[in-house]
Amino acid sequence: APACLEREELSFIMIKPDGVQRGLISDIIARFERKGYKLVGIKVLVPTQALAAKHYAEHDGKPFFPKLVNFLSSGPVVAMVWEGKSVVKYGRTMIGATNPLASPPGTIRGDYGIDTGRNIIHGSDSVESAQREIALWFKAEELADYTPSTAAWVY
């Protein structure tokens, strides 16, 4: 990327295998796009168990970890990087609570899920987590530069 490229905040957002199989890709992308966030990276892949374990390394050793890793690597996911003001925190607001039954209507998990182990989507929980996750899933050259900027339509 050119040295002049100044980014807003970035978050790593991933549609999990259940969200993909249930046909929620376009709905989820539409929600972030309409909010004013900018899609700067996207790929479809079946994560290896090793990649899934690295992604969820903070949960290594917890009782649900093996199931979580198996599930994430059980089919295609849509891995994305979204850019915009407070996208990490507000992205989590759009996603909702970990347990879809504790997640209000209007949130992605509240609208589409019932089970904690099938909660549709992942979002980075801090700017530091986002940086780690983006580096794990994407190469720097896979993130797009939108110059000339369209940001004046949002900010």
Residue 141 in tokens: 């050259």
Question: Is 92 marked as binding a ligand?
Answer: yes
What x/- string results for residues 97 through 116 when contact with ligand RTP is judged by CB under 6 A?
A: -x-----------------x
Q: How far is the CB of 44 from ligand RTP (least distance, A)?
A: 18
- The yes-or-no answer on residue 122 being catalytic is yes
Q: For residues 59 and 85, which CB has a smaller minimum distance to ligand RTP in the complex?
A: 59
- 62: Cβ contacts below 8 Å, ≥ 6 apart: none
In angstroms, the CA 152 to CA 150 distance is 6
Nearest to 13 by CA among 153, 144, 139, 130: 130
Q: Taking CB within 5 to 8 Å according to partner kind, which of Mg ion, ligand RTP, none is near residue 119?
A: ligand RTP
Annotated catalytic residue within 122, 130, 133, 134: 122
Query: Comparing C-alpha atoms, which of 119, 116, 117, 118 is closest to residue 108?
Result: 119
3-state helix, strand, coil in the chain (%, to 5): 45, 15, 35
Residue of 117, 126, 128, 147 that binds ligand RTP (CB under 6 A):
117
Q: Is 109 annotated as a binding residue?
A: yes
The residue range among 30-38, 80-88, 122-130, 135-143 that interacts with ligand RTP, by the rule CB under 6 A, is: 122-130
Report if residue 87 touches ligand RTP, rule: CB under 6 A. Answer: no
Q: Are 72 and 137 contacting, i.e. CB atoms less than 8 angstroms apart?
A: no
* Residue 86 binding: pick among ligand RTP, Mg ion, none (C-beta 5-8 Å cut-off by kind): none
Query: Tokens representing 117?
Result: 């182990």
The amino acid present at 33, given as its one-letter code, is E
Residues in contact with ligand RTP by CB under 6 A are: 59, 64, 68, 98, 116-117, 119, 122-123, 125
